[in-house]
Amino acid sequence: KAGVTQTPRYLIKTRGQQVTLSCSPISGHRSVSWYQQTPGQGLQFLFEYFSETQRNKGNFPGRFSGRQFSNSRSEMNVSTLELGDSALYLCASSLGDLPGQGAEGYTFGSGTRLTVV
Binding residues for another protein (CB under 8 A): 4, 31, 33, 40-43, 45, 48, 50, 55-56, 90, 94, 96, 99-100, 102-104, 106-111
CA–CA separation, 27 and 17 (whole Å): 32
Give 62 or 102: the residue with its C-beta nearer to another protein: 102
Give 84 or 99: the residue with its C-beta nearer to another protein: 99
- Cβ 80 to another protein, closest distance in Å? 27
Give 19 or 47: the residue with its C-beta nearer to another protein: 47
CA–CA separation, 87 and 15 (whole Å): 14
- Cβ 16 to another protein, closest distance in Å? 29
